[in-house]
Amino acid sequence: MDHTLSAIILGIIEGLTEFLPVSSTGHLIITGHLLGFTGLKADVFEVVIQLGAILAVVILYWPTFLGLLRPDPQRSFTGARGIFLLILTSLPASVLGLLVHKAIKIYLFTPQTVAWALAVGALAILLVEGLSLRTKYTSLDSMTPSLALGIGCFQCLALWPGFSRSASTILGAMLLGADRKLATEYSFIAAVPIMIAATGFDLLSHWTLFERGDILVLAIGFVFAFVSAWAAVKLFISLVQKISLRPFAYYRLILAPLVLYFWS
């Protein structure tokens, strides 16, 4: 298939799935195999276009990110304290990811491992949604260091491609006492530093793989990821207080056996 069309398809899928609890990495791996777009260059491309999705969140939540640079004494999730909370959330997965990065790329970037992660993540969603959880945190300003670090520990589950970074952080936040809206919004915001770190690491490590002609393909994927992520985040936030996460679990449970069947 033409690489430009592949970039468009992958960009749309990246944007639509990055911040939903369905695993963008899993969907990109599956779609890449369907399109015949595989290999190390394809893996790095899939990481690079995440920058488009990241930019969508930065723009949508620009007052929050601006507050990290210009502290507001009336709010607690600003300035150095807000940055510190994001560092706490990013630290566990960043450290563990550096230690096992090569092993993950070698052993876990396959449709089969993604299928199992989709299924396990779906069961986790259903389990958490079935619990009677006590809500202690309802806004970014109510975030505490222990909550931020706890969410970061749950985020380590996202190193298993297919589990979903969004699912791991949202579920972790809810288990630790955050309401669903806060858990979702913080998942979006906390994605930015760790995704920038992961993207930067892959770019620095593998930039020589790309030729001048690949820049256009990367740019196309970036733009489509940005637009579709913008739409997905806006829609998800509008729905998150009206519906549970169960529909995403059911979708994952339908997708997982289909992947195992077609790639077994």
**What are the pLDDT digits (tens) for 41-98?**
777 788 788 889 999 999 999 999 999 999 888 899 999 999 999 999 999 998 998 8
- Provide the 10 A C-beta neighbour count for residue 98: 12
Position 254 scores a pLDDT of 95
Residue 178 DSSP SS3? strand
Global pTM reads 0.90
Structure tokens at 72: 């507001």
Question: CA 10 to CA 142: how far, in whole Å?
Answer: 37
Question: CA 27 to CA 9: how far, in whole Å?
Answer: 11
**What are the pLDDT digits (tens) for 2-22?**
678 989 999 999 999 999 999
Instruction: Note whether 253 and 122 are within 8 A (CB).
Output: yes
**What are the pLDDT digits (tens) for 183-193?**
999 999 999 98
Question: CA 109 to CA 161: how far, in whole Å?
Answer: 7
Residue 133 DSSP SS3? coil
- Domain residues of the chain, as ranges? 3-263
Q: HSE of 8 in the Cβ direction (CA atoms, 13 Å)? A: 4
The percentage of the chain sitting over the pLDDT mark of 90, rounded to a whole number, equals 61
Position 104 scores a pLDDT of 84
Q: HSE of 83 in the Cβ direction (CA atoms, 13 Å)? A: 8
In this predicted structure, the answer to whether residue 101 has a pLDDT above a threshold of 70 is: yes
pLDDT band at 264 (very low <50, low <70, confident <90, very high): low
Instruction: Note whether 243 and 74 are within 8 A (CB).
Output: no
> Where does the chain have alpha helices with state H?
3-17, 24-35, 40-48, 50-60, 62-69, 79-107, 111-129, 145-155, 165-175, 180-206, 214-240, 246-263
At 149, the amino acid letter reads L
Position 167 scores a pLDDT of 96
Structure tokens at 87: 């560092």
